[in-house]
Structure 1
C-alpha cells in the first residue's frame, strides 16, 4: 500500500508538471492582448512598450516559462498583471476558503439527500417512493443550477426575507452567519449532484441486491437491516465512491455560475475574470490549484476503495 501511494504521488507530481506546461502555453493561444486590455485606447506606443518591459512580456516564451516555473517550485505563482500587482497566491488564498466552504456544504447536502433516497428507491423498486425519487432525480438533472439559485433567492431572500440574497461571511463572524450566506447557493449546487448520486446508488444497489451472496445472507436468517447495511451498501458503494470523488472535485471548479448569482468571489469567479482580462499568472495559478484538487480527489477515492472493501489490495 505504501509503495502504491508513493507511486501515485510521483504520478501526481508528473501530472501537475504537465498541467503547468500546458496551461502556460495554451492560455497564450487565447485571442486577445493583456496590454491592449489594460491600456484600452488611452495608451501611447511608448507607454505600451514600457508596460510590456515592466511585466517581462518582451522576453521569449521559453524564458518567461522558466522564470514562472522556477517560481512555482518555490511557492511563488507570480503577481497579477492588473491593479497593484497583487501576488497570485494572495488572490487564490482569499478566494479558496469561499469556494471550499461552498463546495463542502453543497457536498454534505448532496450526500444527505442522495444516500437515503437511493437506498429507498432501490429497496422499494417500482413503488411510489421509487417513482418519487426518479422524478426528483429527473428534475434535479434538468434544472440549471443558476435557475434554481434565482428561484431560491426570490422565495427565501426577497419574499420571506429569511436569508441574505448575496455575499459571503467568513466563519470568523460566527457559524450561523456563515451558514446563512451559504445555505442557498449550497442547495442550488447540491441538488443537481444529489440527483446524479441518488441514481447511481439506486442502480448499484439493485445490482447488489440480486447477487447470490445476498440470497445466502437471507437464507441464514439475517435481518433486512443487517443485510442492507453490512452486505449490500458497502458493495454498492464502490462505483458510487468514484462518482462522488469526481463530483466533489467538480464542485471546486464548477460553482462559478452560482458564485456570480450570489456575488461570491470564489475560485471559479477568479478564474473566469482572469481569462476575460488575459491575466496570465492568475489563470495559471487557478488552473494549477484546481488540477491539484482533482489529483488529490482521485487518490483519496482509490484509498477509500480499500477501506470500504478489504478484499481490494494494491500491489
Structure 2
C-alpha cells in the first residue's frame, strides 16, 4: 500500500503540473488581449506598454511560465490583473469555503436520497416502488438544476418565506445562517446527483443479487437483512464509489449556474469571471485548485476499493 500511495502521489503531481502547463499556454491562445480590455480606447501605445511591463506580460512566454511556476511552487499564485491587484490566494480563499459548503451539503442530500431509493428499487424490482424510484430518477436527471433552483426560490423563499432566496453567510458568523442559505442550493444541486447515484446503486445491486454466492447464502437460511448489508452491499459499492468520487469532484469544480441563481460567489463563478475577463492568474489558480480536488478524489476512491473488497491489493 505504501508503494502504491507513493506512485499515486508522484502521478498526481505530474498530472497537476501537466494541467497547469496546458492551461497557462492555452489561455494565451485565446483571442483577445487583457491589456486592451483594461485600457480605454483613447489610451496610447505608451500607456499600453507601461501596463504590460508592470504586469510582466511583456516578457517571453517561456519566461512568464517559468516565473509563474516557480512562484506557484512557493504558494504564490500571483495577483489578479484587474481591480486592486488582489492576490489570487485571497480570491480563492474567499470562494473555496462557499463552494466546499455547497458541495458537501449537496453531496449529503444526494446520498440521503439515493442510497435508500437505490436499495428499495433493487430489492423490490418490477414493483410500484421500483417504478416510482425510476420515475423520480428520470425526473431528477431531466430537470435542469437552475430551473429547480428558481422553483425552490418561488415556493420556499418568495411564497412561504421560510428560507432566504440569495446570499451566503460564513459558517464562522452563524451556523444557522450558513445552513439556511445553503438548504435550497444544495437541494437544487444534489437532486440530479442523487438520481445518478440511485440508478447506479440499483444496477450494481441487481447484478450482485443474481450471483451464485447470494443464492447460496439464501439457501443456508441467512436473513435477508444480513444478506443485503453483509454480502450484497459491500460488493455492489465498487462501481458506486467510482461514480460518487467523480460526482463529488464535479461538485467541487462549482455548480456555476446554481451559484449565480443564489448569488453565491464560489469557485465556479470566480473561474467563469476570470475566463471572461482574460484574468490569467485567477484562471490558472482556480483550475489548479480544481484539478487538485479531482486528483485527490481519485486517490481516495482507489483507497476505498481495498477497504470495501479485501480481495483488491495494490501490489
Q: Tell me, yes or no, whether TM beats 0.5.
A: yes
Separation of aligned partners in 1, 2:69 and 2:21: 8
Q: How do 1:140-179 and structure 2 match up within 5 A?
A: 140-179=140-179
Name the SS for the 1:172 alignment partner: coil
1:115 lines up with 2:143 in the alignment:
no
Deviation at 1:44, TM superposition (A): 2.5
Give CA-to-partner distance per residue, 1:219-277, whole Å, 9 cap, x none: 11110000001100110000000000000000011401100000000000000000000
CA distance in 1, matches of 2:131, 2:36: 56
Note the 1:1-315 alignment, pairs <5 A. Answer: 1-315=1-315
Q: Tell me, in whole angstroms, the C-alpha distance in 2 between the residues paired with 1:261 and 1:193.
A: 18
CA drift of 1:28 comes to: 1.1
1:174 Cα deviation (Å)?
2.1
Deviation of the 1:41 alpha carbon = 2.1
CA distance in 1, matches of 2:45, 2:20: 32
Tell me how far apart the structure 2 counterparts of residues 43 and 263 of structure 1 sit (CA, whole Å): 34
How far apart in 2 are the matches of 1:298 and 1:110?
A: 19
Q: Kindly state the Cα deviation for residue 176 of structure 1 after the two structures are TM-superposed.
A: 1.2
When the two chains are superposed, the root-mean-square deviation of aligned CA atoms in Å is 0.7
1:38 & 1:264 partners in 2: Cα distance? Answer: 26
Higher alpha-carbon deviation: 45-54 or 273-282: 45-54
Name the SS for the 2:296 alignment partner.
helix
Tell me, in whole angstroms, the C-alpha distance in 2 between the residues paired with 1:181 and 1:43.
44
Distance in 2 of aligned mates of 1:35 and 1:152: 41
Contact 2:99 2:254 in 1 (8 A): no
- Residues 27-47 of structure 1 show CA distances to partners (whole Å, capped at 9, x for unaligned) of 111111111111142422221
Quote how far apart the aligned CAs of 1:172 are: 1.3
Q: How many residues align?
A: 315
Shift of 1:311: 1.3
Deviation string 1:131-178 (CA, Å, 9 cap, x unpaired) is 000001100110010010000000000111100000001111222111
- Partners of 1:38 and 1:147 in 2: how far apart? 35
Decide whether the 8 Å contact of 2:254 with 2:269 is kept in 1.
no
| Alpha-carbon distance in structure 2 between the residues aligned to 1:16 and 1:178 | 32
Task: Note closer, same or farther for the CA distance 1:122–1:40 as it changes in structure 2 (3 Å cut).
Answer: farther
Query: Which 10-residue stretch deviates more, 43-52 or 182-191?
Result: 43-52
Tell me, in whole angstroms, the C-alpha distance in 2 between the residues paired with 1:206 and 1:188.
Answer: 28
